[in-house]
Protein backbone atom coordinates (compact mmCIF):
# COMPACT_ATOMS: atom_id res chain seq x y z
CA UNK A 1 0.00 0.00 0.00
CA UNK A 2 1.34 3.43 -0.91
CA UNK A 3 0.47 5.89 1.84
CA UNK A 4 2.12 7.74 4.66
CA UNK A 5 1.92 6.21 8.12
CA UNK A 6 1.05 9.43 9.88
CA UNK A 7 -2.51 10.65 9.85
CA UNK A 8 -3.20 14.04 8.26
CA UNK A 9 -5.68 16.35 9.91
CA UNK A 10 -8.78 15.61 7.89
CA UNK A 11 -11.59 18.13 7.84
CA UNK A 12 -14.60 18.83 5.69
CA UNK A 13 -13.14 20.35 2.55
CA UNK A 14 -9.87 18.40 2.79
CA UNK A 15 -8.71 16.39 -0.21
CA UNK A 16 -9.27 12.71 0.54
CA UNK A 17 -5.84 11.06 0.90
CA UNK A 18 -5.04 8.71 -1.95
CA UNK A 19 -3.91 5.15 -1.29
CA UNK A 20 -3.49 1.78 -2.97
CA UNK A 21 -4.90 -1.28 -1.24
CA UNK A 22 -5.85 -4.90 -1.76
CA UNK A 23 -9.59 -5.51 -1.67
CA UNK A 24 -12.11 -8.26 -2.29
CA UNK A 25 -12.39 -6.84 -5.84
CA UNK A 26 -8.64 -6.69 -6.50
CA UNK A 27 -6.15 -3.83 -6.13
CA UNK A 28 -7.77 -0.42 -5.77
CA UNK A 29 -6.18 3.00 -6.20
CA UNK A 30 -8.58 5.21 -4.31
CA UNK A 31 -8.55 8.35 -6.45
CA UNK A 32 -8.87 6.26 -9.60
CA UNK A 33 -11.76 4.40 -7.98
CA UNK A 34 -13.55 7.69 -7.28
CA UNK A 35 -13.16 8.72 -10.90
CA UNK A 36 -15.73 11.38 -11.84
CA UNK A 37 -18.33 10.21 -9.32
CA UNK A 38 -18.97 10.18 -5.60
CA UNK A 39 -17.78 7.63 -3.05
CA UNK A 40 -18.97 6.51 0.36
CA UNK A 41 -15.95 5.04 2.18
CA UNK A 42 -16.77 3.31 5.47
CA UNK A 43 -14.79 1.26 7.97
CA UNK A 44 -15.40 -1.66 10.31
CA UNK A 45 -13.49 -2.81 13.41
CA UNK A 46 -13.27 -6.52 12.57
CA UNK A 47 -14.61 -9.35 10.41
CA UNK A 48 -17.18 -11.77 11.78
CA UNK A 49 -18.53 -9.27 14.28
CA UNK A 50 -22.30 -8.89 14.73
CA UNK A 51 -22.83 -5.15 14.23
CA UNK A 52 -20.49 -4.99 11.23
CA UNK A 53 -22.27 -7.92 9.61
CA UNK A 54 -25.63 -6.13 9.77
CA UNK A 55 -24.13 -2.89 8.48
CA UNK A 56 -22.42 -4.35 5.43
CA UNK A 57 -25.58 -6.23 4.55
CA UNK A 58 -27.64 -3.03 4.74
CA UNK A 59 -25.18 -1.10 2.57
CA UNK A 60 -25.22 -3.90 -0.01
CA UNK A 61 -29.02 -3.78 -0.09
CA UNK A 62 -28.91 -0.01 -0.67
CA UNK A 63 -26.15 -0.12 -3.30
CA UNK A 64 -28.61 0.20 -6.23
CA UNK A 65 -29.90 3.47 -4.73
CA UNK A 66 -26.36 4.79 -4.35
CA UNK A 67 -25.61 3.83 -7.96
CA UNK A 68 -28.60 5.89 -9.14
CA UNK A 69 -26.85 8.87 -7.60
CA UNK A 70 -23.47 8.09 -9.22
CA UNK A 71 -22.08 6.96 -5.86
CA UNK A 72 -19.71 4.03 -5.42
CA UNK A 73 -19.32 2.19 -2.12
CA UNK A 74 -16.08 0.90 -0.65
CA UNK A 75 -15.70 -0.70 2.77
CA UNK A 76 -12.75 -1.44 5.01
CA UNK A 77 -12.22 -3.94 7.78
CA UNK A 78 -9.12 -4.56 9.85
CA UNK A 79 -8.59 -8.11 8.66
CA UNK A 80 -7.17 -10.17 5.79
CA UNK A 81 -8.58 -10.86 2.33
CA UNK A 82 -8.95 -14.54 3.22
CA UNK A 83 -11.02 -13.58 6.24
CA UNK A 84 -13.06 -11.11 4.15
CA UNK A 85 -13.97 -13.80 1.61
CA UNK A 86 -15.55 -16.06 4.22
CA UNK A 87 -17.22 -13.17 6.04
CA UNK A 88 -18.81 -11.80 2.85
CA UNK A 89 -20.42 -15.20 2.28
CA UNK A 90 -21.99 -14.95 5.72
CA UNK A 91 -23.20 -11.41 5.03
CA UNK A 92 -24.78 -12.44 1.73
CA UNK A 93 -26.51 -15.39 3.39
CA UNK A 94 -27.82 -13.51 6.43
CA UNK A 95 -28.87 -10.33 4.59
CA UNK A 96 -30.12 -12.11 1.46
CA UNK A 97 -28.06 -9.78 -0.65
CA UNK A 98 -24.79 -9.65 -2.55
CA UNK A 99 -21.81 -7.53 -1.50
CA UNK A 100 -20.56 -6.39 -4.90
CA UNK A 101 -18.46 -3.42 -3.81
CA UNK A 102 -14.82 -3.79 -2.69
CA UNK A 103 -13.91 -4.33 0.96
CA UNK A 104 -10.35 -3.27 1.81
CA UNK A 105 -8.09 -5.63 3.75
CA UNK A 106 -6.43 -3.41 6.37
CA UNK A 107 -5.02 -5.89 8.88
CA UNK A 108 -2.19 -3.52 9.85
CA UNK A 109 -4.64 -0.58 10.05
CA UNK A 110 -2.45 1.58 7.83
CA UNK A 111 -5.41 3.10 5.99
CA UNK A 112 -7.36 3.35 9.24
CA UNK A 113 -4.46 5.42 10.58
CA UNK A 114 -4.22 7.47 7.38
CA UNK A 115 -7.90 8.41 7.77
CA UNK A 116 -7.80 8.57 11.59
CA UNK A 117 -10.43 5.82 11.85
CA UNK A 118 -9.17 4.76 15.26
CA UNK A 119 -10.59 4.65 18.78
CA UNK A 120 -8.31 6.29 21.35
CA UNK A 121 -10.83 6.48 24.18
CA UNK A 122 -9.08 4.19 26.64
CA UNK A 123 -6.63 1.32 26.90
CA UNK A 124 -9.39 -1.27 26.45
CA UNK A 125 -9.55 -0.15 22.81
CA UNK A 126 -5.89 -0.99 22.14
CA UNK A 127 -4.74 -4.45 21.03
CA UNK A 128 -1.72 -6.42 22.20
CA UNK A 129 0.50 -4.55 19.70
CA UNK A 130 -0.59 -1.21 21.11
CA UNK A 131 -2.66 -0.32 18.02
CA UNK A 132 -5.99 1.40 18.58
CA UNK A 133 -9.04 -0.42 17.24
CA UNK A 134 -10.67 0.74 14.02
CA UNK A 135 -14.03 2.41 14.58
CA UNK A 136 -17.09 2.88 12.38
CA UNK A 137 -16.17 5.87 10.24
CA UNK A 138 -17.91 7.19 7.12
CA UNK A 139 -16.39 9.53 4.55
CA UNK A 140 -18.48 10.93 1.71
CA UNK A 141 -16.17 12.14 -1.06
CA UNK A 142 -17.24 14.14 -4.11
CA UNK A 143 -15.92 13.96 -7.71
CA UNK A 144 -13.27 16.58 -6.91
CA UNK A 145 -11.87 14.16 -4.28
CA UNK A 146 -13.05 16.54 -1.56
CA UNK A 147 -14.30 15.17 1.76
CA UNK A 148 -17.85 16.43 2.20
CA UNK A 149 -18.96 14.46 5.26
CA UNK A 150 -17.18 12.73 8.16
CA UNK A 151 -19.13 10.52 10.56
CA UNK A 152 -17.69 8.49 13.44
CA UNK A 153 -19.54 5.92 15.51
CA UNK A 154 -18.36 3.91 18.51
CA UNK A 155 -17.77 0.22 17.88
CA UNK A 156 -20.93 -0.67 19.81
CA UNK A 157 -23.28 1.44 17.67
CA UNK A 158 -24.47 0.43 14.22
CA UNK A 159 -24.84 3.13 11.60
CA UNK A 160 -28.03 4.26 9.91
CA UNK A 161 -27.47 3.42 6.24
CA UNK A 162 -30.56 5.38 5.16
CA UNK A 163 -29.08 8.48 6.79
CA UNK A 164 -25.89 8.11 4.74
CA UNK A 165 -28.03 8.02 1.59
CA UNK A 166 -30.01 11.05 2.81
CA UNK A 167 -26.78 13.02 3.32
CA UNK A 168 -25.74 12.21 -0.26
CA UNK A 169 -29.12 13.48 -1.48
CA UNK A 170 -28.71 16.69 0.52
CA UNK A 171 -25.18 17.33 -0.73
CA UNK A 172 -26.05 16.69 -4.36
CA UNK A 173 -29.21 18.81 -4.16
CA UNK A 174 -27.27 21.65 -2.55
CA UNK A 175 -24.54 21.50 -5.17
CA UNK A 176 -27.01 21.46 -8.05
CA UNK A 177 -29.40 24.17 -6.91
CA UNK A 178 -27.28 26.25 -4.49
CA UNK A 179 -29.68 25.63 -1.60
CA UNK A 180 -29.45 24.12 1.87
CA UNK A 181 -31.67 21.51 3.49
CA UNK A 182 -33.50 21.79 6.83
CA UNK A 183 -33.74 19.32 9.69
CA UNK A 184 -35.04 15.86 8.73
CA UNK A 185 -35.17 16.86 5.07
CA UNK A 186 -36.03 14.20 2.51
CA UNK A 187 -35.94 14.49 -1.30
CA UNK A 188 -39.09 16.27 -2.43
CA UNK A 189 -39.36 18.39 0.72
CA UNK A 190 -38.95 22.16 0.62
CA UNK A 191 -35.39 23.45 0.79
CA UNK A 192 -33.86 26.60 2.28
CA UNK A 193 -32.69 29.46 0.08
CA UNK A 194 -29.05 30.13 0.91
CA UNK A 195 -28.49 33.28 3.01
CA UNK A 196 -25.96 34.52 0.44
CA UNK A 197 -28.78 35.05 -2.09
CA UNK A 198 -30.45 38.43 -1.59
CA UNK A 199 -34.24 38.35 -1.20
CA UNK A 200 -35.02 40.29 -4.38
CA UNK A 201 -32.82 38.00 -6.44
CA UNK A 202 -34.22 34.94 -4.65
CA UNK A 203 -37.77 35.94 -5.59
CA UNK A 204 -36.86 35.78 -9.28
CA UNK A 205 -35.13 32.42 -8.92
CA UNK A 206 -37.68 30.89 -6.55
CA UNK A 207 -41.10 32.48 -7.23
CA UNK A 208 -42.77 30.16 -4.71
CA UNK A 209 -40.38 31.18 -1.92
CA UNK A 210 -41.97 31.88 1.46
CA UNK A 211 -40.20 34.08 3.98
CA UNK A 212 -40.51 32.89 7.59
CA UNK A 213 -37.79 35.21 8.86
CA UNK A 214 -35.42 37.39 6.82
CA UNK A 215 -32.76 34.72 7.33
CA UNK A 216 -35.10 31.71 6.93
CA UNK A 217 -36.66 31.34 3.50
CA UNK A 218 -38.18 28.11 2.20
CA UNK A 219 -38.97 27.07 -1.35
CA UNK A 220 -40.02 23.94 -3.20
CA UNK A 221 -37.75 22.80 -5.99
CA UNK A 222 -39.30 22.80 -9.46
CA UNK A 223 -41.30 19.60 -9.87
CA UNK A 224 -39.17 18.29 -12.71
CA UNK A 225 -36.02 18.96 -10.65
CA UNK A 226 -37.08 17.48 -7.33
CA UNK A 227 -35.32 14.16 -7.92
CA UNK A 228 -31.55 14.09 -7.59
CA UNK A 229 -29.91 12.71 -10.71
Q: Are residues 37 and 98 in the same domain?
A: yes
Confidence class for position 5, pLDDT limits 50, 70, 90: very low
In a domain, residue 173? The reply is: no
Residue 76 has a pLDDT of 95
In a domain, residue 12? The reply is: no
Confidence class for position 229, pLDDT limits 50, 70, 90: very low
Query: What is the C-alpha separation between 184 and 20, in angstroms, rounded?
Result: 36
In a domain, residue 29? The reply is: yes
Q: Are residues 140 and 28 in the same domain?
A: yes
Q: Are residues 131 and 214 in the same domain?
A: no
Confidence class for position 7, pLDDT limits 50, 70, 90: low
Q: Tally the C-alpha atoms within 13 A of residue 224's C-alpha that lie toward its C-beta.
A: 0
| 12 given a catalytic annotation | no
Confidence class for position 157, pLDDT limits 50, 70, 90: confident
Structural domains in the chain (count) = 2
> Which among 10, 34, 39, 52 is annotated as catalytic?
52
pLDDT in tens, 57-90: 999 999 999 999 999 999 999 899 999 999 999 9
Q: Which domain holds residue 39?
A: 20-159
> Of 42, 23, 1, 21, nearest to 85 (Cα)?
23
Query: What is the C-alpha separation between 53 and 51, in angstroms, rounded?
Result: 5
Confidence class for position 123, pLDDT limits 50, 70, 90: very low
Query: What is the C-alpha separation between 89 and 44, in angstroms, rounded?
Result: 17
Q: Are residues 141 and 190 in the same domain?
A: no
DSSP class of residue 134 equals B
Amino acid sequence: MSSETTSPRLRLGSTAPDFEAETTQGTVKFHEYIGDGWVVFFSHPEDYTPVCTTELGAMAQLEPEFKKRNVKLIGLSANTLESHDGWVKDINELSKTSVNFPVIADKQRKIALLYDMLDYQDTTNVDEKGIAFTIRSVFIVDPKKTIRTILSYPASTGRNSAEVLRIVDSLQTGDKYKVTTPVNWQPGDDVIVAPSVKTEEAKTIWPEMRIVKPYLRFTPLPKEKATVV
